[in-house]
C-alpha cells in the first residue's frame, strides 16, 4: 500500500517545481491554497471535477492579483497543481471551457447541464469528468467547489448571484442532488467575496504607499 502523502511532502514537491522565493504578502495565500488542495486530494471521498478546477483557478487569479514579478505567477500556479500530481494545463483548459460555456447559457440552463451533463458544444472532456464526480454517492463538498460553482453562475448572470432568494432557489436542485451543506456553501461564498474586497483594498493601500515612497525619494534627489 502506498504511503499517504503528507502536507510536508506536498510543500517539498511544490518548491521542487517553483524554486524562486514567493513575495511575502502572498506566501500565506499560496500555502493556504496548497494545504486546502492537499487535504482534499488525500480524502477518500474526494473526486476532482471541472467545477473544482475552476474554483482553484479563480481563487488563484483573484488572490494573486497584483503579484510581482508577474512572470512568476504562472510558475507558482503550475507548481501548485503539479505538487498534487495534477496537470495545470488541464485545470486551465477545463476552467476556461466551463466559463466560455457559461457565457452562452442562462443560469437555469447551467443548472440543468450540471444535473445532466451532455457532450454538446465541445464539452466532451469536461462533461465526462463532471459526470464522474456527479456519480459519486459520497460527493465531497469543498470551498473551492463552491467558488467554482459561484464563478460559473456569475459568468452567466452577474445579477442573480447578488439576489440571495433567487440564488438559493436556483441552486437547490443541484445542492439537493449532491447533498451539499447549503449554509456552509453560503458562508464560504460570503467569506470569499469579503476576502476579495479586502485584497483589493490592500492593493490600493500598497500602491499608494509605494507611490508616496517614490515621491519622497525623488524629492530627496
- Over the stretch 96-118, which tens digit does the pLDDT of each residue have? 999 999 999 999 999 999 999 98
CB 133 within 8 A of CB 47: yes
Quote the Cα angle for 148-149-151, to 5°.
65
At residue 212, the pLDDT reads: 72
Residue-wise pLDDT for 155-166, tens only, equals: 999 999 999 999
Q: Directed axis angle between helix 7-17 and helix 24-41, to 10°? A: 130
- What is the residue-averaged pLDDT of the chain? 91
Q: Rounded to two decimals, what is the model's pTM?
A: 0.91
Pick from 124, 184, 141, 119: nearest CA to 51: 141
Amino acid at each position: 500500500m502506498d504511503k499517504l502523502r503528507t502536507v510536508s511532502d506536498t510543500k517539498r514537491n511544490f518548491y521542487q517545481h517553483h524554486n524562486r522565493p514567493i513575495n511575502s504578502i502572498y506566501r500565506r495565500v499560496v500555502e493556504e491554497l496548497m494545504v486546502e488542495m492537499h487535504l482534499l486530494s488525500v480524502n477518500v471521498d474526494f473526486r476532482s471535477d471541472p467545477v473544482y478546477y475552476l474554483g482553484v483557478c479563480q481563487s488563484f487569479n483573484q488572490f494573486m492579483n497584483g503579484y510581482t514579478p508577474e512572470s512568476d505567477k504562472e510558475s507558482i500556479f503550475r507548481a501548485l497543481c503539479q505538487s498534487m500530481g495534477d496537470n495545470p494545463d488541464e485545470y486551465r483548459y477545463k476552467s476556461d471551457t466551463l466559463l466560455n460555456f457559461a457565457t452562452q447559457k442562462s443560469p437555469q440552463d447551467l443548472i440543468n447541464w450540471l444535473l445532466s451533463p451532455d457532450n454538446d458544444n465541445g464539452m466532451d472532456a469536461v462533461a465526462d469528468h463532471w459526470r464522474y464526480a456527479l456519480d459519486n454517492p459520497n460527493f465531497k463538498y469543498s470551498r473551492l467547489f463552491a467558488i467554482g460553482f459561484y464563478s460559473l453562475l456569475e459568468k452567466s448572470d452577474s445579477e442573480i448571484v447578488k439576489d440571495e432568494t433567487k440564488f438559493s432557489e436556483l441552486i437547490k436542485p443541484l445542492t439537493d442532488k449532491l447533498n451539499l451543506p447549503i449554509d456552509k456553501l453560503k458562508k464560504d461564498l460570503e467569506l470569499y467575496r469579503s476576502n476579495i474586497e479586502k485584497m483589493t483594498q490592500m492593493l490600493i493601500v500598497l500602491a499608494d504607499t509605494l507611490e508616496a515612497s517614490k515621491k519622497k525619494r525623488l524629492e530627496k534627489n
